[in-house]
Chains A and B, each alone.
Chain A
Amino acid sequence: MKRFLLFLPLVVALGIGAFALWGLWADRNPKEVPSALISKPAPEFDLPPIPGVDVPGLKRADLTAGGPPVLVNVFASWCVPCKAEHAVLSRLVKEKGVVLYGINYKNKAEDARNWLADLGNPYSRIGFDLSGRVAIEWGLTGVPETFIVRGDGTVVYRYVGPIVGADAQKKVMSALREAGWKEAGK
């Protein structure tokens, strides 16, 4: 017992050191804050479509209709990382058959229209959130941000930042599968 007490200060110091090291760890992202929405129902909202874009708007009822889990992606034409992410999202829709909804955040209709015409529109529904109020309902901290919503309208996952690179895609895909999503034809 006495022997053990002798080492106690060392153990405590190592513990504090490990905690400090964790704080300085380069791979740790201090901006990664868990969303308050996880395992909660999607917020109440009803957004009109972007004027002049031929996909319907987005409202809560669209997320509670049952069916496979969907991606809800918050994007804007002025957001550069969104452009990088756009190719990934398009591929997920085209090749894997993922259902993708969009919330167009604080974007002029014309800019959003041009952006989608330019890059293509992978979204099957887009809500036009000019004031950014609905984004606050979703607890948005920046664009882009992507949520996974189950067929019953429960938010199960959030990805902050662009889904670019193998790691990010793997994370999102495994979260999708965990939410009950199955790749078409498998």
Chain B
Amino acid sequence: MRRLRFLVAAILIGVAPILSLAVEPDEILDDPVLEARAREISAQVRCVVCQNESIDTSNAGIARDLRILIRERLVAGDTDQEIFDFLVARYGDFVLLKPPFKPETWALWFAPFVIAAAGAAGIFVLVRRVNRRAAAGPGQLSEEELAQIEKIIQNEKAEADS
């Protein structure tokens, strides 16, 4: 167990520098506050070349260009929102890793809750129906059914006797 933990830690430590290598030294801003903001923004921007990666971790040429562009605009005094708007104007909402919340994406945001609510309602109705049936107790048999049962019992008895 201990050995395994050591192994996992070793692999993670070994891999960490590879993961964080995308941002090259010449891109990094001198101002640590701006650099931190740049990193935070980059982590939320999709790399349009590799698609499921943020530009912060992507080595693609366009990702690097976008990282530099974001830093230039930060230095020029843009707010985070202005930078996102700039990117969305050129690449569409797709460039944001987190889809924005607006009428076009309501289905996306609400679907899980709607499905969960529908499921809960279904279970609630089902449970209530079962409970009600249990509370009512077993139903009464009709005359006909009683007669039928009587007949079966008689038959059984007759067979046992013979």
Residues of A within 8 A of B (CB): 30-31, 33-37, 43, 106, 131-133, 135-142
Contacts and interface: CB of A to CB of B under 8 A. Distances in A.
Given A31-B51, A136-B69, A142 B92 contact: no
Which one of A106, A136, A140 has the greatest number of beta carbons of chain B within 10 Å?
A136
Interface stretch (B16-24, B26-34, B60-68, B136-144): B60-68
Interface of B: 48-49, 51, 61-62, 65-66, 69, 88-92, 94
A133 B62 CA distance: 10
B92 A35 contact: yes
- Per DSSP, chain B at the interface is helix
A47 to B, nearest CB: 16
16 contacts: A33-B48, A33-B92, A34-B92, A34-B94, A35-B92, A36-B89, A36-B94, A43-B90, A131-B65, A132-B65, A135-B62, A138-B90, A141-B48, A141-B49, A141-B62, A141-B91
A36 B62 contact: no
Contacts of A136: 62, 65-66, 69, 90
Nearest to A106: B61
Nearest to B48: A141
Given A136-B66, A141-B49, 20 more contacts: A30-B51, A31-B51, A33-B94, A34-B94, A36-B89, A36-B90, A36-B92, A36-B94, A43-B90, A106-B61, A131-B65, A135-B62, A137-B90, A139-B90, A139-B92, A141-B48, A141-B62, A141-B91, A142-B48, A142-B62
A133 B65 CA distance: 8
A69 to B, nearest CB: 21
Nearest to A131: B65
A36 B48 CA distance: 12
Closest 7 CB pairs of A and B: A36-B92, A141-B48, A139-B90, A139-B91, A33-B94, A132-B65, A36-B91
A138 B86 CA distance: 12
A132 B61 contact: yes
Contacts of A37: 90
Contacts of A30: 51
A36 B69 contact: no
Nearest to A35: B92
